[in-house]
Chain A
Amino acid sequence: MKKTSFLLILPTAIFGAILLYIVFYNVAISFTNWSLLHPIPSFSGISSYANVIHSFYFPTSLIHSLELSGSAVIFGNILGIGIAGLLYFLSSNKARTFFLSIIILPLAISMAVNALIWLWLYNYNLGVNWLFLRLGLPYVPWLTSTSMMMPSIIIIAIWAYTGLPALFYLASFLGIDKSIIEAARLDGASSFKILRKILIPNSANGFIVSTALLFLFTFRIFSIPYILSGGPTNIFMQTLVVFSYYLFTTEFFAQASALSTIIILIATAIVIPYALYGIKRWIKK
């Protein structure tokens, strides 16, 4: 019995060990001063952390990351619920599968490809604006105005990842006993009311999973800002992750590691309470 359990956890343990090794190696570097100016790294305490946090780019990239993930969580959940609701009340199973596949499609494509497609769509003259002109709408300065740059990235992130909450909420809705929905119909409730009063309140699991995944996936987005700005240097499209790459390209290795560690800590701090709450609910049932 003990031998079997040991064998079962072995693959996970091995990969977990490798992962932890890489993470701790990274953390170790973050406590040195390894950079272009110090090619042979030596222990320097938290100076790399201090340098990163006091850097000109840190506050803006932090705000951008939080804007991106925050918006994705809020709008991703809202759109996800809306789409799941629409799909739930479709009577044809085939139609439901068809539309769900379409909504999930961006996740099947490399994020870099998604970013490229949107780069073309955001073209000032030939992209979406071309259509707007024909519809009598004004041009939108997607990537040409500094105040529109982050919103443009956020739009892509929401578009790409809404499929996830839609899927999880739909699964949650379909898991609700059908006779409860029939009872609600007999009680005269409209579809919207059923969504509001019965489907959503009984989908706490869907909410927990969707929010956690939306946050994590958008927090680590790299390709979108990189491709839309052509590099890591545009500070209006710089998130924490892009900033850490920038530090890497400018050979401030220790600072890049420090920033990576900070990113991991933020993500962990937000996800772990979530995971614990989810596990607690699971055990309760």
Chain B
Amino acid sequence: MVEISAKSVYKIFSKKKGEVYALKDINLTIESGEKFGILGPSGAGKTTFMRIIAGLEAPTKGELLFDEKVVARNGKVIVGPESRNIGMVFQNWSLYPNMTAFDNIAFPLTNMKISKSEMRQKVEEVAKVLEISSVLEHYPRELSGGQQQRVALARAIVKSPSVLLLDEPFSNLDARIRDSARALVRDIAEKLRLTVIVVSHDPADIFSISNRVGVIFQGELVQVGKPEEIYNSPKSFHVARLIGEINELKGKVIEEDGKNILSIGNLAIPISGGYRGEVKVGIRPENLRLEEEPREEGWVEAGKVRVKITTYEGGHFKVTLTPLGDDQEIIVFMDKIPKEEEMKLFVRPSKIMFFKY
């Protein structure tokens, strides 16, 4: 269990065309025992940041501290990866192909001064927790993706590390087993009370494991907070898009009879809050309904919309529609095909997100 602090960390690559800032002024403290997720699109800099924490690279500028001791500063790695007591699961698992699963898991222990019997005991213990005891004598190439991932995980935790780093741990797994894999990792992380850092572009990975999330976008840490905070109150459209589907619309807030009304085309939605004038809003499809008024509280009729296209996706119908008198497209999900061309749209005003214009 260790507390990790990044202070003004930059990672700059000098190329012929100029300098590329992979990371810009990252300031972050991950508490001891915390499960922290790093979310961002591909190329945002999250793997770079993880590699700096692992010690495989040094920050060009700034400091990295473990429990308030400097481990890397200004281009130099002061405490090497082998001395940071880190367990890491790589995206491709990076198992040693010439060793059996048992030897793979035992490898970190062979670099520590432990007796063979103790080594065997630890490996078997970890294998039991991860349910891979039956495949220990097999080589990585003989194992399925899920099994390889568990071997990689076993190898990372067998040495009782202070930090567990997971780099896109589920992207190489079949969609079917991803959920059970996420549950497994969550349970282990809780049981072992390790500091865990997960890096992913998939919000489901992050939400299943993390207490707190840091969103990295184009090298900058744009928002840090609990997963629900990021989901409900994203600071920008970029963050909102990362987490899930969102409709991005332009509208105007006008005052009518002492109330604020958000107007998008012909739609009129009563809202609270001090927004005025031209606004950019985000509404997630799950906060919109068509045709039938939902029975739960908090829904309001917004007005009539025209259905443009209907497609079938993953068990429901994805309907693209526009407000009357406006071009902007809105996406809503329905369980049955929309019957009419013009239908009523219902919305939950409390879940509308406002962003600076």
| Distance from A187 Cβ to chain B, minimum over Cβ atoms (Å) | 4
What are 18 A-B residue pairs whose CB atoms fall within 8 Å in the complex?
A179-B94, A180-B94, A180-B96, A182-B54, A182-B56, A183-B94, A185-B81, A186-B56, A186-B82, A187-B82, A187-B108, A188-B82, A188-B108, A188-B112, A189-B111, A190-B111, A193-B111, A197-B96
Question: How far apart are the CA atoms of A179 and B159 in the complex, in Å?
Answer: 19
Q: In which size bucket is the chain A interface?
A: 10 to 19
Contacts of B107 in A (CB 8 A): 184, 187, 189, 197
Are A187 and B98 in contact (CB-based, < 8 A)? no
Residue of A nearest to B108 (CB): A187
A205, CB-defined interface residue at 8 Å:
no
Are A189 and B82 in contact (CB-based, < 8 A)? yes
Contacts of B18 in A (CB 8 A): none
B21, CB-defined interface residue at 8 Å:
no
Contacts of B155 in A (CB 8 A): 183, 187
Known A177-B94, A187-B111; further 14 A-B contacts with Cβ < 8 A:
A179-B92, A179-B94, A180-B94, A180-B95, A184-B107, A185-B56, A185-B80, A186-B87, A187-B159, A188-B82, A188-B108, A189-B107, A197-B96, A197-B99
B288, CB-defined interface residue at 8 Å:
no
Are A198 and B98 in contact (CB-based, < 8 A)? yes
Question: How far apart are the CA atoms of A201 and B82 in the complex, in Å?
Answer: 22
Question: How far apart are the CA atoms of A167 and B162 in the complex, in Å?
Answer: 40
Are B94 and A182 in contact (CB-based, < 8 A)? yes
Chain A residues close to B by CB (< 8 Å): 177, 179-180, 182-190, 193, 197-198, 201-202
Q: Chain B interface mostly helix, strand, loop or mixed?
A: loop
Q: A179-B90, A193-B111 are in contact. Are A186 and B81 (CB under 8 A)?
A: yes
Contacts of B159 in A (CB 8 A): 187-188
Would you give the 0/1 interface string for B64-91, flagging 1 where the beta carbon is closer than 8 Å to chain A?
Answer: 0000000000000000111100111010
Contacts of A177 in B (CB 8 A): 92, 94
Residue of B nearest to A202 (CB): B98
Contacts of B258 in A (CB 8 A): none
Contacts of A198 in B (CB 8 A): 96, 98
Question: How far apart are the CA atoms of A180 and B91 in the complex, in Å?
Answer: 11
Residue of B nearest to A181 (CB): B94
Question: How far apart are the CA atoms of A180 and B94 in the complex, in Å?
Answer: 5
| Distance from B105 Cβ to chain A, minimum over Cβ atoms (Å) | 10
Are A202 and B97 in contact (CB-based, < 8 A)? yes
| Distance from B78 Cβ to chain A, minimum over Cβ atoms (Å) | 16
